[in-house]
Structure 1
Amino acid sequence: MELVTMSRTRVVLMTLTLVVVTVLNNTESAESARTFYVFGDSLVDSGNNNYLPTTARADSPPYGIDYPTGRPTGRFSNGYNLPDLISQHIGSEPTLPYLSPELTGQKLLVGANFASAGIGILNDTGIQFVGILRMFEQYALFEQYQQRLSALVGAAQAQRIVNGALFLMTLGGNDFVNNYFLTPVSARSRQFTVPQYCRYLISEYRKILMRLYELGARRVLVTGTGPLGCVPAQLATRSSNGECVPELQQAAQIFNPLLVQMTREINSQVGSDVFVAVNAFQMNMNFITDPQRFGFVTSKIACCGQGRFNGVGLCTALSNLCPNRDIYAFWDPYHPSQRALGFIVRDIFSGTSDIMTPMNLSTIMAIDSNIY
């Protein structure tokens, strides 16, 4: 009897040990994976707008048709979006939208996505979308998040996690397409020439990035605007034969070099390579100008939409829908397909200094593995 009792005790103790080790390993893996925070607009919104009183939503089919669940998630994509693909590359879980009720407990260690479709650098950008999270509101939520994280792991550890995190900031496109160029004569176009407007945007963007630094960010990917004049929505309304719209292309080509210059200046000011400029314009132009080289049949026609180039209006259940999303560079009138985003993420990780300034994400991860 004693032998049976002793063997049972050993089994119980071994089971308890395994449970404790498993819990500790899970906690360690959650803490060792790099925390990731996302700010910006629809290119990186993973579903915050689902919880807001706004028309800027991707919460109905066929959005999400290629997501693992096959259902819309609030991502402006047929499947994964840019933050999802970056998370996969850095070995982290996808960041949950901050407004999601699932973002609690250990999930806070993964990070959070604060992005909101429709917003811009300026607070008057996207006013037609009503209840979206402008940048000052995204930052207020980030401060709230940090308080929640402190309650979970303590203030010192929370600060260490934020300082060691990777950040993604994607802004600027809406300031052109949903503000300056929204109407033939807009309030901003009466106020500024395009070069003046670009300089004004950069001065405001600088304040946004400096505020993020004050909030603890020490590694931030800052994406420039894509080729705004080449998206199907602009081809549908402003081009005669499907050529990229010169006015929007020129605006992007003025804005993006100013952004690189501004990030360099801030890095010099703070004495560290905190901000990394991502040349999203060139990354997109690679497959827009030569879609066949990337396995696309077209970079002009959106997979989901209606009208010319499927670029008129929104992507809805009533829209034309291509059967194979992998051969379309654009999913809807404004957003690249999941497969196209894969090429962009590849460039973010391994791109040369002309598209990742001052370094690519692989280099960042290698350097930071020795620091954090």
Structure 2
Amino acid sequence: MDACSPVLVVGALLLVLLGASAPTVSAARAFFVFGDSLVDNGNNNYLMTTARADAPPYGIDFPTHMPTGRFSNGLNIPDIISTSPACLLSHLGEYLGAEPALPYLSPYMRGENLLVGANFASAGVGILNDTGVQFVNIIRIAQQLQNFQDYQRRLAAYIGEDAARERVSQSLVLITLGGNDFVNNYYLVPFSARSQQFEIHDYVPFIISEYKKVLARLYELGARRVIVTGTGMIGCVPAELALHSLDGSCAPDLTRAADLFNPQLERMLTELNGEVGHDDVFIAANTNRVSFDFMFNPQQYGFATAKIACCGQGPYNGIGLCTPASNVCANRDVYAYWDAFHPTERANRIIVANFMHGTTDHISPMNLSTILAMDNTRN
């Protein structure tokens, strides 16, 4: 039987999910993930919330062909950055050499699974505590940071305090926040509370200042390599086209918000690196640039469309949720968007490829392959 046959792929996944003995990962780099639905891999499955992706057709292209809580037809960005059990290496890539980190709320987050890292992300959250209140029970970023601290206590109990501290300091961290602070807060409804409190040119510096506190706290908790993604072209996602566009043009207010947010985020990261005394702790990943390329040159990437979601209903398949009753495209590889807001697995792969090998237009001050090579040399 082929080492990467579907039977063994599913079997390997079940070993991880059931906490069975797995190949040691102590030599692999730990990976920690914070943020929203773009990187949530199942924490919201354990919560009473409407922000869930635990029903078909989500997961249709995942190795198990089952929904996992990922807002994707298959793998999401953290999956592709990390790796999975040995027989899945060719499928997921070989970037970190580890199994995918489990959701922090998973009952199997124990023992050797702690060594892999943890995914703390929760769909619906933002930089601000009031972002996503309509989803009721989500893990806001302050709680994600508290969970990271609690995780470290559990890891220390398992491998000792010094080893736990070293494992965290040598880890890679990914954090994705900001989009919901516009889509599900400032612009959620006309005359929202935040839009009454701030003009957009004042709101953006406010959330940037709050984000800086989050990142500074991550540093205090031991993170020393943190990839920070900006927002994509949030005015151009199928949901916003369905609401605001008659001719396929992007929503101007959200486009302006992203255009304000991303440069200010990069400047803040440079400032924060200066404050911690290292220019490569916080790495700025420009997902807006990749989204722009998808939107205006989809054929260059092999996409038939970057405007219509694969799964949904209404104009651009951008209305409502992706459900078993939705339209679902036959070939997910030619769609940049899986649902009204989230990229397909193939689009996620292109995004990660830009993180890994892109120029400073895509990720700065250096790309992820350079970071990993540099750190391997140091270690």
TM above 0.5, yes or no, is yes
- In structure 2, do the counterparts of structure 1 residues 47 and 184 end up closer, same or farther at CA, with 3 Å as the change threshold? same
Whole-angstrom CA distance in 2 between matches of 1:361 and 1:195: 32
CA distance in 1, matches of 2:194, 2:142: 21
- CA-to-aligned-CA distance 1:305-338 (integer Å, 9 cap, x gap): 0000000001001111101111101000000000
For structure 1, the 5+ residue unaligned runs are 1-25
Alignment of 1:285 onto 2:277: no
Q: What TM-score does the superposition give when structure 2 sets the normalisation length?
A: 0.90
352-361 vs 112-121, which moves further = 352-361
- What is the SS of the residue equivalent to 1:267? helix
1:194 corresponds in structure 2 to 200
Q: Residues of 2 paired with 1:28 and 1:314: CA distance?
A: 38
Alignment of 1:168-183 (within 5 A): 168-183=174-189
* TM-score, structure 1 as length reference: 0.92
Q: Secondary structure at the match of 2:175?
A: strand
- What is the CA deviation profile of residues 219-242 of structure 1, one whole-angstrom value per residue up to 9, with x for unaligned ones? 000000010101000000011211
Aligned residues of 2:289 and 2:361 also touching (Cα < 8 A): no
- Find the residue that maps to 1:276 and give its secondary structure: strand
- Residue of 121, 130, 141 corresponding to 1:135: 141
Structure 2: which amino acid aligns with 1:122? L
d(CA) in 2 for partners of 1:366, 1:27:
26
RMSD: 1.1
2:45 is aligned with 1:50: yes
> Quick one: distance in 2 between partners of 1:115 and 1:182?
21
More helix by share: 1
User: Which structure 1 residue ranges, 4+ long, deviate > 4 Å from structure 2?
Assistant: 26-29
Partner of residue 332, structure 1? 339
Q: Could you tell me how far 1:91 is from its partner in structure 2?
A: 1.9
CA distance in 2, matches of 1:284, 1:345: 12
**CA offset at residue 246 of structure 1?**
1.2
SS across alignment from 2:34:
strand
Q: What does residue 259 of structure 1 align with?
A: 265
- List aligned pairs for 1:234-253, cutoff 5 A: 234-253=240-259
Identity of aligned residues (%): 59
Aligned counterparts of 1:285 and 1:66: Cα–Cα separation in 2: 25
**Residue by residue, what CA displacement relative to the aligned partner does 1:282-324 show, whole Å, maximum 9, x if unpaired?**
0111111111111111111000000000000010011111011
Asked if structure 1 preserves the Cα contact closer than 8 Å seen for 2:57 and 2:324, the reply is yes
Query: Residue type matched to 1:352 in 2?
Result: T
Q: Distance in 2 between matches of 1:325 and 1:352?
A: 27
Paired position in structure 2 for 1:73: 68
Unaligned runs of 5+ residues in structure 2 are: 1-20, 84-94
Q: How many residue pairs get matched?
A: 347
Q: Distance in 1 between matches of 2:26 and 2:142?
A: 28
The residue aligned with 2:28 is 33
The one-letter code sitting in structure 2 at the alignment partner of 1:81 is: N
Cα distance in 2 for residues equivalent to 1:240 and 1:247: 15
Aligned counterpart, 1:160:
166
C-alpha distance in structure 2 between counterparts of 1:29 and 1:357, whole Å: 32
Question: Does 1:305 find its partner at 2:319?
Answer: no
Q: Does 1:209 align with 2:215?
A: yes
**C-alpha deviation, 1:370, in angstroms:** 2.4
Question: What's the secondary structure of 1:32's corresponding residue?
Answer: coil
Match of 2:4 in 1: none
Shift in Å, 1:27: 9.1
Deviation of 1:371 after TM superposition, in Å, equals 2.8
